[in-house]
């Protein structure tokens, strides 16, 4: 249990240190920083919470620049995690073994992502980057944090990758952390996105972590019935409420499929232009990926944002705009809209081009999802007062589902 002086929240100078691995744009770092915020809120200035990210690491210079803009007090270590020793990481954060309250991180998901299954090495789980899971375990074993949170794509749990997955759980169990895992749907925690991710959480004291109950409910690809006493899933239109955006260079969908995309209604994809629907008979049934020419449905959460979409991979906005010659064209989502779909604060800054920004956000953990998991962990570890948490949940249950910026 934490010292009495640290409950419910520590003072800024005595916050508990957190180590962030594979930090990327900082989705889990944001969740650490904002664990004390009331659910469904994303204020410009976060509430004072019990944790601070003492040190973060990533191999991508752009990601570290993004982190530096948003977390200026966090020390960053650049480089491949396989070349960074645990003592080096601890020294950078001014930490000793056992000091860290939590280690957070999502090893790059490309070895396990369905989007890479066209490569034989992905399908057969032979990607050398899968060893990054072992690096995560190495740092847990050597840094001995009080707890850890590991996030990855749902496909890590699939039969194809069972060897990697079971080895990971066994290694964490041998360290005494009693890892618990669960696949969570982001929309069930207030994220306007139908994004599934697996979370693995363990505690050094061996007590089993209890995952947070969903706060929202609604239909999804695999859900037809849900608890209607919960808040409804946040829709894309609700997420964009009050958002003022400006046109961005290259946002219109032109080229070979530009005209076809503009004719597709919101919520539909290339299947609109098959013999079974109301568009042109241009494609064979189920001949493309679901996200091909996909338009966002205003009355539903978004599909998963892609980190590296091709020019005709959605979701695209449901509205059409005229191009230079007056022809209507669909448009890509603007950066402020991407931030809303990830429940990141409106004032979050990301380094790079439009493609760089989408890559960083597409690889990130949505803030509200990471916040739900870390909030539950902080509560169970005693770093958030249970009475305070109950008060926040009461606020949540009576509030609008529209995100506050």
57 touches 76 (CB < 8 A): yes
What residues are annotated to the active site? 109
Task: Give pLDDT, residue 396.
Answer: 40
Residue with token string 């749907």:
185
Q: Is the pLDDT of residue 7 over 50?
A: no
Task: Give pLDDT, residue 130.
Answer: 55
357 touches 335 (CB < 8 A): yes
Q: pLDDT tens digits for 198-231? A: 999 999 999 999 999 999 999 988 888 899 999 9
Mean pLDDT of the chain: 88
Task: Give pLDDT, residue 13.
Answer: 57
- Residue 287, Cβ neighbours under 10 Å: how many? 10
In whole angstroms, what is the distance from residue 371 CA to residue 189 CA?
9
Tell the burial category of 14 from Cβ atoms under 10 Å away from its Cβ (0-12, 13-18, 19+).
exposed
Q: What's the mean pLDDT in 334-339?
A: 98
Q: What's the mean pLDDT in 263-288?
A: 96
251 touches 334 (CB < 8 A): yes
DSSP notation for 25-72: T-HHHHHHHTTTSPTTB--SSPPP-SEEEEEEEES-HHHHHHHHHH-T
Structural domains in the chain, sorted by start: 4-226+365-397 (3.40.50.150)
Instruction: Label residue 150 by pLDDT band (50, 70, 90).
Output: very high
Q: Is the pLDDT of residue 395 over 60?
A: no
Residue with token string 């849900």:
226
3-state class (DSSP) for residue 18:
strand
Tell the burial category of 208 from Cβ atoms under 10 Å away from its Cβ (0-12, 13-18, 19+).
exposed
Angle among Cα 6, 10, 13 to the nearest 5 degrees reads: 125
Instruction: Label residue 43 by pLDDT band (50, 70, 90).
Output: confident
Chain center to CA of 196: 9
In whole angstroms, what is the distance from residue 123 CA to residue 121 CA?
6
Residues in the chain: 405
pTM greater than the 0.85 cutoff: yes
């Amino acid at each position: 249990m934490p010292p009495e002086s640290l409950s419910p929240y520590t003072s800024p100078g005595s916050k508990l240190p957190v180590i962030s691995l594979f930090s990327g744009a900082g989705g889990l770092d944001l969740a650490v920083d904002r664990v004390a915020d009331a659910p469904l809120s994303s204020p410009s200035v976060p509430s004072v919470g019990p944790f601070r990210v003492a040190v973060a690491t990533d191999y991508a210079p752009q990601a570290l620049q993004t982190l530096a803009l948003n977390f200026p007090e966090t020390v960053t270590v650049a480089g491949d995690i396989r070349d960074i020793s645990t003592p080096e990481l601890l020294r950078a954060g001014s930490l000793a073994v056992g000091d860290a309250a939590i280690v957070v991180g999502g090893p790059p998901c490309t070895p396990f992502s369905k989007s890479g299954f066209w490569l034989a090495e992905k399908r057969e789980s032979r990607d050398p980057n899968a060893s990054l899971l072992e690096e995560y375990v190495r740092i847990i074993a050597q840094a001995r944090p009080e707890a850890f949170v590991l996030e990855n794509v749902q496909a890590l749990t699939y039969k194809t990758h069972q060897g990697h997955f079971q080895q990971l759980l066994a290694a964490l169990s041998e360290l005494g952390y009693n890892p618990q895992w669960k696949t969570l749907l982001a929309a069930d925690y207030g994220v306007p996105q139908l994004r599934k991710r697996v979370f693995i959480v363990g505690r050094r004291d061996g007590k089993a972590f209890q995952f947070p109950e969903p706060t929202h409910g609604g239909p999804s690809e695999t859900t037809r019935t849900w608890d209607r006493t919960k808040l409804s899933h946040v829709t894309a239109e609700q997420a964009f409420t009050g958002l003022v955006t400006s046109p961005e260079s290259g946002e219109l969908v032109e080229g070979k499929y530009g005209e076809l995309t503009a004719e597709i209604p919101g919520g539909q994809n290339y299947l609109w232009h098959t013999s079974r629907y109301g568009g042109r008979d241009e494609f064979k049934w189920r001949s493309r990926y679901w996200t091909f020419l996909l338009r966002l449905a205003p009355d539903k959460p978004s599909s998963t944002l892609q980190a590296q979409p091709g020019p005709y991979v959605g979701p695209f906005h449901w509205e059409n705009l005229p191009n230079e010659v007056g022809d209507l064209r669909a448009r890509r989502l603007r950066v402020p809209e991407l931030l809303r779909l990830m429940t990141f604060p409106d004032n979050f800054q990301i380094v790079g081009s439009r493609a760089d920004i989408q890559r960083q956000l597409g690889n990130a953990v949505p803030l509200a999802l990471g916040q739900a998991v870390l909030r539950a962990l902080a509560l169970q570890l005693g770093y958030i007062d249970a009475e305070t948490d109950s008060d926040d949940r009461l606020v949540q249950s009576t509030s609008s589902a529209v995100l506050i910026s």
